[in-house]
Amino acid sequence: MSDDLTAPQAQGEAELAFEGALRPKTLTEFVGQAKVRGQLQLLLTAARLQERTADHILLAGPPGLGKTTLAMIVAAESDRPLRMSSGPAIQHAGDLAAVLSSLVPGEVLFIDEIHRMARSAEEMLYLAMEDFRIDIMVGKGAGATSIPLDLAPFTLVGATTRSGLLPNPLRDRFGFTAHLEFYSDEELEQVLDRAAGMLELDIDKRALAEIARRSRGTPRIANRLLRRVRDYALVHGQAPSGRDAARADLAAVQAALELYDVDPLGLDRLDRAVMETILTRFDGGPVGLSTLAVSVGEEAETIESVVEPFLVRIGLVSRTPRGRVATAQAWRHFGLEPGRGPSGAQQPLFTDNL
Ligand SMILES: Nc1ncnc2c1ncn2[C@@H]1O[C@H](COP(=O)(O)OP(=O)(O)OP(=O)(O)O)[C@@H](O)[C@H]1O
Ligand SMILES: [Mg+2]
């Protein structure tokens, strides 16, 4: 696991507990994603009016944007119990059958990382989603028979960072697919403001804005950076003595984030590795996705679904029919010039966060 402060996945136990406590509980509390929120609200309200289970929902988007949070909100807002499972935990059709057959009527079943479920289970899920029914195979070989089993109606909420990996028949069976987008700086400020309250951190607006700007458009990263700023503020004694409350201003934020090598744009190690490859090894591109993936030692899907959307969004990379190309802004940000390599005493592309 990476120790990178801005890496989407790096999390300790305290971090997880804090994350849980910070999760908004209702759609109204949920910041940003206005479009998705409106769509979900409509879908849930219609289901409630007709006293039926809501349609199956697929949540797609990069890590840390709120998929798990939304799944919990769907259950809470429709006042239904929630069962949580995940693709990697479903390695056989039998694993899925056990979960499905024990659902209570109306239950919300959340399957995280649904693209990692076993193929055989996927096929069972098609029927379950469509007809609330599964066929259970009993016995082996020539004597095997299948016994149909009726299920309680349920709402499936699937989450995936790689919706492109889902087979079409599965994707088509969701009544609604929500594509989560990176958050704007203003939205992240709202997320941070709420979290600062819970951390009893006294922090001003400029300081919050600085953290937001370096959070890679991702609430989870914003909250994590805020905790490091809180640590810094505690240790550097801007807190009234003897109390577990701290105060942070812009200077404290800058010092804390500098200490942890958080890039001014919030780029993480993989982002930087991709940029380094495009800029210095391929002189700005174009570079094909698979070449890029091999160069940085990552799966092409991760580059495509986690790294690239952010780099495109902040204007460092553009996609062309011939491959990925670095923009003029990218050259400037890294202090490089096309065809010339490093142009001066700029910060190295590879700095380890932490
Ligand atoms: N819209 C939001 N408003 C406030 N906080 C949010 C929002 N979205 C996410 N968060 C915060 O970010 C954290 C991460 O969100 P969540 O676990 O739902 O992301 P995820 O998309 O499920 O990530 P992964 O793909 O890694 O599972 C949560 O603890 C929550 O506090
Ligand atoms: Mg999640």
Q: What is the pLDDT of residues 278-317, one digit of tens each?
A: 999 999 989 999 999 999 999 998 898 889 999 999 999 9
Q: Where residue 260 falls among pLDDT bands split at 50, 70, 90?
A: confident
φ and ψ at residue 157, rounded to 5 degrees: -115, 115
Q: What angle do CA 24, 68, 298 make, to 5 degrees?
A: 130
Rounded alpha-carbon distances, angstroms, from residue 103 to 135, 151, 293: 16, 8, 41
Query: Any idea which of 44-48, 231-235, 249-253, 348-352 has the lowest mean pLDDT?
Result: 348-352
Query: Which strand (E) or helix (H) includes residue 121?
Result: helix 119-131
CA pair distance 217, 66, nearest whole angstrom: 12
Dist. CA 219 → ligand 1 center (Å) = 6
CA pair distance 43, 37, nearest whole angstrom: 10
Q: Does 19 contact ligand 1 (Cβ within 6 A)?
A: yes
CA distance from start to end of the chain: 13
Query: What CATH number was assigned to the domain covering residues 269-333?
Result: 1.10.10.10
Q: What angle do CA 13, 63, 316 make, to 5 degrees?
A: 125
Query: Which strand (E) or helix (H) includes residue 228?
Result: helix 219-235
What is the residue type of 230? R
What's the half-sphere exposure (Cβ side, CA atoms, 13 Å) at 223? 27
Nearest atom in ligand 1 to the alpha carbon of residue 23 is 31
Instruction: For the chain, give every domain's residue range.
Output: 2-179, 185-259, 269-333
CA pair distance 221, 353, nearest whole angstrom: 13
4/69: higher pLDDT = 69
Are 6 and 353 in contact by the 8 Å Cβ rule? The answer is yes
What is the DSSP secondary structure assignment for residue 274, as one 8-state letter?
H
φ and ψ at residue 145, rounded to 5 degrees: -130, 160
Q: Does 30 contact ligand 1 (Cβ within 6 A)?
A: yes
Work out the percent of the chain whose per-residue pLDDT is above 90: 70
Q: Where residue 80 falls among pLDDT bands split at 50, 70, 90?
A: very high
CA pair distance 233, 342, nearest whole angstrom: 35
Question: Which of 2, 33, 65 maximizes ligand 1 atoms within 8 Å of its Cβ, making it the mutation to test the pocket?
Answer: 65
pLDDT at 243: 58
Q: Supply 230's token pair.
A: 């809180």
Neighbours of 233 (CB within 10 A): 25
CA pair distance 193, 201, nearest whole angstrom: 9
What is the DSSP secondary structure assignment for residue 59, as one 8-state letter?
E
Query: What CATH number was assigned to the domain covering residues 2-179?
Result: 3.40.50.300
Nearest atom in ligand 1 to the alpha carbon of residue 69 is 18
Domain 185-259 has CATH 1.10.8.60: yes
Q: Is the pLDDT of residue 3 over 70?
A: no
Q: Which residues of 252-284 are buried (b: 16+ CB within 10 A; e: fewer)?
A: bbbebbeebebbebbbbbbbbbbbbbbbeebeb
Q: Does 193 contact ligand 1 (Cβ within 6 A)?
A: no
Are 237 and 188 in contact by the 8 Å Cβ rule? The answer is no
Query: Any idea which of 10-24, 69-83, 97-111, 301-315 has the lowest mean pLDDT?
Result: 10-24
Q: Are strands 82-86 and 201-203 parallel, antiparallel or unpaired?
A: unpaired
Are 191 and 19 in contact by the 8 Å Cβ rule? The answer is no
Q: Pick the closest to residue 55 from 167, 132, 164 (CA basis).
A: 132
Dist. CA 352 → ligand 1 center (Å) = 24
φ and ψ at residue 232, rounded to 5 degrees: -60, -45
- Which residues are CB-neighbours of 191 under 8 A, at least 6 positions away? 31, 32, 183, 219, 222, 223
The mean pLDDT value for 72-91 works out to: 95
The mean pLDDT value for 121-135 works out to: 93
The mean pLDDT value for 211-231 works out to: 94
CA pair distance 212, 188, nearest whole angstrom: 5
Dist. CA 261 → ligand 2 center (Å) = 26
Question: Which of 26, 30, 33, 68 maximizes ligand 1 atoms within 8 Å of its Cβ, making it the mutation to test the pocket?
Answer: 68
Are 43 and 55 in contact by the 8 Å Cβ rule? The answer is yes
Nearest atom in ligand 1 to the alpha carbon of residue 65 is 21
Distance, CA of 104 to chain centre:
29
